Amino acid sequence: MFSQSSLFGFGIAFSPLHIAVVALLLLGPFPLRRSFAYVSGWAMANGLAILALMLVGDRFSLALNHGEQGQVAIDLVGAVALLGIGLFQLTPAAELGQEGMAVRLLNQLPDVRTPLLVLIGATSALLTPENLVFYLKEAGLLLVNQPGVSRDLELTGVFVLVASSLLLLPLPPLAWIATGGGIREPLLQVEGWLVHRAEWVVGVLALLISTYLAWEGLHGLWLLRGAAPL
């Protein structure tokens, strides 16, 4: 279960645009305070999303184990959504759109107050479409296995930590602390690459995850129809 939670968390963590936002914050005033404010909002939103989905799933007794209708629907809808996102990210339109968004962020971030960055970080996590798929998968994992409250907290903690890992390592705030702010020039280069060249990475990753979810969904549908496990 720890490996599955880590996998779902990494799916959220690999978000070049949000990593670029943290890099931009490190290049501005009060870099550590402001970048940690954004990441803390991101982490809290991820944890609260899992808690909310578990409460909803438990309240309505959703069947989220593999081969059940609820989980099959989540897998197939998630596969289609990520397929669309992945294909879009590989088009020239995505590159233009990402650059425009990055320029707007670059212009607006210096004027944003530090407390507001917590809210922006949380909103960014919750409004990223592919994150919902991983929230549902993680909540389903906990609801199906019912490991107990302490184990639930441990697994959710692992999920939140991994989901925030790429916003903290290897380039953003923790690397800034380790080098005493000496990574400013590398940050400028990485920030430029993330803003202008990372669309294909996001697209390929989305397509790979879409393939995995499609397999899970089709296999679950096979089981749902009463067929023997493959």
4-25: pLDDT as tens digits: 888 888 888 877 777 778 877 8
Mean pLDDT throughout 57-73?
A: 61
Q: Which tokens belong to 4?
A: 């599955």
Q: What is the CA radius of gyration of the chain?
A: 19
> What is the spatial distance between Cα 61 and Cα 193, in angstroms, rounded to a whole number?
45
- State residue 45's pLDDT score: 94
Looking at 16-25, 62-71, 133-142, which range is the least confident one?
62-71
Helical spans, DSSP H, in the chain: 2-13, 16-26, 31-60, 69-89, 92-108, 114-126, 129-145, 149-168, 173-178, 184-197, 199-224
- State residue 48's pLDDT score: 94
The better pLDDT of the pair 56, 108 is held by 56
Query: Nearest 5°: phi and psi at 64?
Result: -120, 15
Mean pLDDT throughout 129-150?
A: 79
- Structural domain spans, the chain: 2-224
Assign 110 a pLDDT band (cuts: 50, 70, 90).
low
pTM over 0.85: no
- State residue 27's pLDDT score: 76
- State residue 166's pLDDT score: 79
CB atoms within 10 A of CB 10: 16
Q: What does the DSSP assignment read for 164-210?
A: HHHHHSSSSHHHHHHTTTTTHHHHHHHHHHHHHH-HHHHHHHHHHHH
- State residue 105's pLDDT score: 58
Report which of 204, 206, 208, 193 is spatially closest to residue 98, judged by C-alpha positions: 193
> What is the spatial distance between Cα 184 and Cα 206, in angstroms, rounded to a whole number?
30
Q: Which residues contact 224 (CB under 8 A, 6 or more apart)?
A: 67, 68, 69, 72
